[in-house]
Amino acid sequence: EERKLDRQFEMEIIIKCADTSNVLKPFIVAKKWAMRVTDEFFLQGDKEKESGMPLTPMCDRTSQGRVALQKGFVDFVIGPYYKLVAAAFPSLNPAFALMWDNREAWNEYDDGMLADELGNEY
């Protein structure tokens, strides 16, 4: 029974990795997913504002930037998570290495450059 619970937890970890895998894609794909995800966040913030609800900070298009959100997600949320996953599943290290390469690539971007490059093609 104990091993079965461990296997279940392993599957939950892998499912979470799949759910957040946009940062593990080649950078051209990761950029498009960054635009899609932040569109979703900002639309949620717009609805919160229209409804008179407290605005979720990462969903406030007037104070958040797309590139900054991606950097913060890797630096403070998913990067530390993936480091722990890599310790448990070393065979995933190549995918996680791409995430760190992508994180470095974000340093060359700002929101204007990202929008100019992708336009509405995402």
Identify the sign of the CA torsion 23, 75, 11, 15: negative
pLDDT of residue 12: 95
Q: What is the pLDDT along the chain (122 residues), one digit of tens a residue?
A: 556 669 999 999 999 999 999 999 999 999 999 999 999 999 999 999 999 999 999 999 999 999 999 999 999 999 999 999 999 999 999 989 999 999 999 999 999 999 999 999 99
pLDDT of residue 76: 98
pLDDT of residue 1: 57
> Are the CB atoms for 80 and 63 separated by under 8 Å?
no
> Are the CB atoms for 119 and 113 separated by under 8 Å?
no
Q: Using alpha carbons only, give the angle 60, 62, 64 rounded to the nearest 5 degrees.
A: 60
Identify the sign of the CA torsion 27, 120, 113, 68: negative
pLDDT of residue 87: 92
Q: What's the full length of the chain, in residues?
A: 122
- DSSP, res 20: T
| Predicted TM-score (pTM) of this structure | 0.90
pLDDT of residue 68: 98
